[in-house]
Amino acid sequence: MVAEVRRQRANTFVGISDFLLALNNVIFLLFVFAIMAISAKSPPAAGVELKAEYIITADWDLTHDCDVDLWVRDPLGNVVYWGRKEGGAMHLDHDSRGSLSDVVKLADGTVTKPKLYTEMVTLRGIVPGEYTVNLHLYGAMIDGTEVKAPSTAYSVPVHVRITKLNPSAVAEYDQEAKLESVWQEITVTRFTLGSDGSWRGTDPTPMSLRSS
C-alpha cells in the first residue's frame, strides 16, 4: 500500500514537472513571437540595412580597474554611449564599469571575472559618411575607492578595434590609445564608410562627443 501511494505521488510529480516544462516552452515561444511582431512594426530608417556590419570594441586589462566609456557618433549626428545605448543603426551592446559591473561573486563564494574589461558598439546598418570614435575615462578604483574627480592622474591603455563583418571579418582599425586622467576624453579615430559599407580611411582630428 505504501509503495503504491509513493508511485502515485511520483507519477503526480512527474506530471506536474512535464506540465511546467511545456508551459515554460510556450511562454518562451510567445515572447519570441512578440519580439518579432514588435520588430516588424518598427521599420528601419530609410537607407539603413538591417544586419550587423561593423563592431567597435574598446578593451583594457583587469589590472586597470576603471570605467572607460566608448562614445560613437554617426554621420547623422546620432551619438551612443552608456546614457544613450541606441541611435540610428548603432547599439551599445556592452557597458563596462570595470569590477563594479563585470566581476560577479557566486553563491558559493567563488568569483568570476572576464578576460578583459570590454565596451562594444555594433553598427547594424550602413549610414554612409564619417563616424567618430571617442574614449572617456569616467572613473577609476584607486586604493579601493571609486574616484570620479576630474584630472585625477590615472593611466590606462585601451585597445580599440573596428571590425568589418561582411562578407568576412576584417579588422579595419586595430590600435592602442591611452587615457591619462579621470574625466579625460580623447578621439581615437574618425573613419568614413561608403554607401556599400566599404572602409574609406581614418582621420585623427579631435572632436568632443560629450558636448554633442
First to last CA, the chain: 77
| Residue 82, pLDDT above cutoff 50 | yes
Q: Which pLDDT tens digit goes with each residue over 49-63?
A: 447 899 999 999 999
Output the CA–CA distances (angstroms, integers) from residue 138 to 5, 92, 105, 116, in the order listed. Answer: 64, 16, 24, 18
Exposure of 48 in the CB half-sphere (CA atoms within 13 A): 18
Domains of the chain, residue spans: 1-42, 54-203
For the stretch 163-203, pLDDT in tens is 999 999 999 999 999 999 999 999 999 999 999 999 998 99
CATH of region 54-203, choose from 2.60.60, 3.40.390, 2.40.50, 2.30.30: 2.60.60
In the chain, the amino acid numbered 176 is E
What percent of the chain has pLDDT above 70? Answer: 76
More confident residue, 180 or 16: 180
Kindly list the strands in the beta sheet with 117-123, ordered across the sheet, starting from the edge strand earlier in the chain. 86-87, 90-94, 117-123, 54-60, 153-164, 170-181
The CA-CA-CA angle for residues 211, 195, 95, to 5°, reads 40
pLDDT in the model for residue 106:
85
The yes-or-no verdict on residue 73 having pLDDT over 50 is yes
Joined grid coordinates for residue 19 = 506540465
For cell 548603432, what's the residue? Answer: 90
CA distance 193 to 56: 14
Segment 73-92 shows an average pLDDT of 97
Peptide bond into 167 cis (omega under 30): yes
Q: What is the pTM of this model?
A: 0.74
CB atoms closer than 10 angstroms to residue 200: 12
